[in-house]
């Protein structure tokens, strides 16, 4: 048969022969693809996969997914109402978990098997080719970075060492809002504040200060607020984060990557190039100072990473690893505190009684003669309950970072094939009617019921997602918790908040392309504690 095929090709005119060769190659490729697909299907035959959309031949549910924008909304809809859902995209399985019991089974009982990460376009760019602790697959690189981050960078001792820097950034936020109030004092309604801009500015300031020892890349902006450099830097970080859950086609069909059908590669490159534009010169200069002996004292997290050495005096981290991890620390720190604070203030403006109760607790515990500090929050359960409720209702992303099955597994009598991508539905878990009464209602008191005397953002039972669980849980829960509490505590204690003039309600709908509030929250601020803020 092969002889007949080649003879018929070569006996044709030259142009026709070339066309015939291409057609034959295409036919062979298709035949091989179909044979491989059939063998793959046979291997899965008889296995009880979790329920999900009926897949198409070869492509699975990839075409229905790509027909809907944003793709994560289609995935959420496909998994709605089920504890576990399996969606086949080409030859990959995406398993979505909306049950806290099943989430615990995946990340606790079967943690060792689901401790890796997928290789995706977005995570490749954000981690500089999988060098960082959050995005690298399970292996030596992850173990190395995990050891460094846990013991040297985000340890309790290191966070205590940088507590004064975080306190100064809380003061800078308070000063920035005070200046906005002063600027709008002539109108009598207080200063108009873009809450999203202010909270993201604070989050960016804290982590920049901890890494680089400075909050600004340039001269800063009006009212001692963010300059254009800080705005561009944080926007790039959020742009990169938005790529993580886009369900890029080439993540499931690798040969599509060269086409960049939806621009994911281009957008990821643009976001990371902005981050590198600000980070890399600082890191290169600092490394050179350490190598030349010009710098010898550790003053921030960048110094910590550069100065780490093994027994022979050789650097533990390469410059690429340092640059990659600095970027990841930015991504990890800017989103949750700012998103939680914006949503919380939006809800409090619609429920003045709840806001009043939170402010009264701050006045009772902290008083009006000093500003709230990190150590106060152990005695502020209602403020923490408000924060937790905002995080429950409004997670910053639809899913947790994906886990990958290292081997075939059976979870709750369902077969989970090797290589499956497992996602916990953050919004679905937090709003699960089987777990939460009246789940769409903002009700902080629910976290103070059932004898819960200690309220924290962490949720070990995974009824909502804060820092997940297992080997791949968030490496900085203490830092994230303190940043979020301080942001909310200062905003509520030092200022009175009201709707902008002429507005009588707040739109609490989500943006279509993300889980952020549809419109950035604008609110009027008046100074509550003038004696304290006057000399801040």
pLDDT of the residue at 508? 97
pLDDT of the residue at 242? 95
Same domain, 17 and 142: no
Distance CA 243, CA 414 (A): 30
Burial class (CB in 10 A: 0-12, 13-18, 19+), 440: exposed
Nearest to 151 by CA among 297, 296, 283, 308: 308
The DSSP letter of residue 338 is H
- The torsion defined by the Cα of 110, 149, 140 and 334, in degrees rounded to 10, comes to 70
Q: What is the pTM of this model?
A: 0.91
Per DSSP bridges, beta strands 495-498 and 522-527 are antiparallel
pLDDT of the residue at 35? 62
The pLDDT > 90 percentage for the chain reads: 85
Distance CA 528, CA 24 (A): 78
Q: Kindly list the distances between the CA atom of residue 299 and the CA atoms of 26, 211, 377, in Å, as whole numbers in the listed order.
A: 61, 9, 27
pLDDT of the residue at 87? 98
- pLDDT over 50 at 8, yes or no: no
Distance CA 234, CA 251 (A): 26
Nearest to 432 by CA among 84, 65, 49: 84
Same domain, 223 and 302: yes
Nearest to 25 by CA among 9, 11, 38: 9
Same domain, 424 and 485: yes
98, 429 Cβ separation under 8 angstroms? yes
Distance CA 512, CA 509 (A): 9
Average pLDDT over the chain reads: 92
Among the candidates 45, 60, 80, a domain finishes at 45
Same domain, 213 and 319: yes
pLDDT of the residue at 510? 97
Same domain, 121 and 216: yes
pLDDT of the residue at 47? 85
Same domain, 322 and 368: yes
- Report the SS3 class of residue 404: strand
Same domain, 21 and 111: no
Give the tens place of pLDDT for each residue, 481-535: 999 999 999 999 999 999 998 899 999 999 999 999 999 999 999 999 999 998 8
Give the tens place of pLDDT for each residue, 289-308: 999 999 999 999 999 999 99
Confidence of residue 24 (pLDDT cuts 50, 70, 90): confident
Same domain, 37 and 57: no
406, 400 Cβ separation under 8 angstroms? no
Confidence of residue 1 (pLDDT cuts 50, 70, 90): very low
| Number of independent structural domains in the chain | 2
Residues in the chain: 536
The pLDDT > 70 percentage for the chain reads: 90
Same domain, 61 and 26: no
194, 150 Cβ separation under 8 angstroms? no
CATH number at residue 287: 1.10.630.10
Domain region containing 15: 1-45
Beta strand segments in 138-296, E: 191-194
pLDDT of the residue at 304? 98
pLDDT of the residue at 200? 97
Same domain, 61 and 137: yes
Phi, psi of 526 (to 5 degrees): -125, 145
Residue 316, token pair as written in the block: 């533990």
Confidence of residue 13 (pLDDT cuts 50, 70, 90): very low
- pLDDT over 60 at 212, yes or no: yes
Give the tens place of pLDDT for each residue, 228-270: 999 999 999 999 999 998 999 999 999 999 999 999 999 999 9
Same domain, 283 and 240: yes
Residue 3, token pair as written in the block: 């002889």
- pLDDT over 50 at 21, yes or no: yes
Give the tens place of pLDDT for each residue, 157-202: 999 999 999 999 999 999 999 999 988 765 456 799 999 999 999 9
Average pLDDT in the 199-226 region? 96
Same domain, 233 and 370: yes
Give the tens place of pLDDT for each residue, 417-451: 999 999 999 999 999 999 999 999 999 999 997 65
Q: Which of 5-14, 215-224, 233-242 has the lowest mean pLDDT?
A: 5-14
- pLDDT over 70 at 22, yes or no: no
């Amino acid at each position: 048969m092969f002889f007949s095929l080649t003879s018929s090709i070569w006996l044709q005119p030259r142009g026709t022969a070339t066309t015939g060769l291409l057609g034959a190659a295409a036919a062979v490729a298709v035949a091989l693809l179909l044979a491989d697909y059939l063998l793959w299907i046979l291997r899965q035959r008889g296995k009880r996969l979790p329920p999900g959309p009926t897949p198409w031949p070869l492509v699975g549910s990839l075409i229905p997914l790509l027909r809907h924008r944003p793709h994560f909304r289609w995935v959420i809809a496909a998994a709605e109402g089920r504890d576990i859902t399996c969606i086949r995209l080409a030859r990959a399985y995406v398993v979505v978990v909306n049950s806290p019991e099943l989430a615990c089974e995946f990340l606790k009982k079967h943690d060792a098997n689901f401790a890796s990460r997928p290789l995706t376009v977005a995570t490749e760019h954000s981690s500089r080719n999988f060098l960082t602790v959050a995005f690298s697959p399970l292996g030596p690189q992850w173990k190395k970075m995990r050891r460094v981050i846990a013991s040297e960078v985000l340890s309790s001792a290191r966070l205590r060492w940088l507590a004064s820097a975080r306190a100064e950034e809380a003061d800078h936020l308070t000063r920035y809002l005070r200046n906005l109030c002063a600027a709008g004092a002539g109108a009598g309604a207080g200063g108009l504040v873009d809450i999203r801009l202010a909270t993201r500015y604070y989050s960016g300031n804290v982590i920049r200060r901890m890494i680089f020892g400075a909050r600004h890349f340039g001269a800063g902006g009006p009212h001692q607020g963010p300059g254009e450099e800080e705005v561009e830097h944080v926007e790039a970080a959020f742009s990169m984060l938005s790529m993580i859950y886009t369900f890029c086609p080439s993540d499931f069909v690798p040969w599509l990557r060269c086409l960049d059908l939806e621009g994911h590669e281009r957008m990821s490159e643009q976001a990371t190039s902005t981050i590198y534009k600000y980070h890399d010169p600082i890191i290169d200069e600092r490394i050179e100072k350490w190598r030349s002996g010009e710098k010898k004292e550790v003053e921030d997290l960048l110094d910590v990473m550069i100065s780490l050495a093994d027994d022979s005096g050789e650097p533990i981290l390469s410059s690429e690893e340092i640059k990659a991890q600095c970027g990841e620390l930015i991504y990890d720190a800017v989103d949750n505190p700012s998103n939680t604070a914006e949503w919380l203030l939006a809800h409090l403006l619609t429920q003045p009684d709840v806001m009043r109760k939170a402010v009264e607790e701050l006045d009772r515990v902290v008083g009006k003669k000093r500003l709230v500090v990190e150590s106060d929050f152990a005695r502020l359960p209602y403020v923490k309950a408000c924060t937790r409720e905002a995080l429950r209702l409004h997670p910053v992303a639809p899913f947790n970072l994906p886990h990958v099955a290292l081997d075939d597994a059976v979870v709750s009598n369902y077969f989970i094939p090797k290589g499956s991508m497992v996602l916990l539905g953050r919004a679905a878990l937090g709003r699960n009617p089987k777990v939460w009464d009246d789940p769409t209602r903002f009700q902080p008191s629910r976290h103070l019921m059932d004898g819960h005397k200690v309220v924290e953002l962490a949720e070990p039972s995974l009824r909502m997602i804060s820092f997940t669980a297992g080997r791949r849980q968030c490496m900085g829960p203490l830092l994230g918790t303190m940043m979020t509490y301080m942001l909310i505590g200062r905003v509520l204690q030092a200022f009175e908040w009201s709707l902008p003039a002429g507005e009588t309600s707040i739109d609490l709908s989500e943006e279509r392309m993300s889980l952020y509030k549809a419109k950035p929250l604008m609110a009027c601020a008046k100074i509550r504690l003038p004696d304290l803020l006057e000399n801040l």
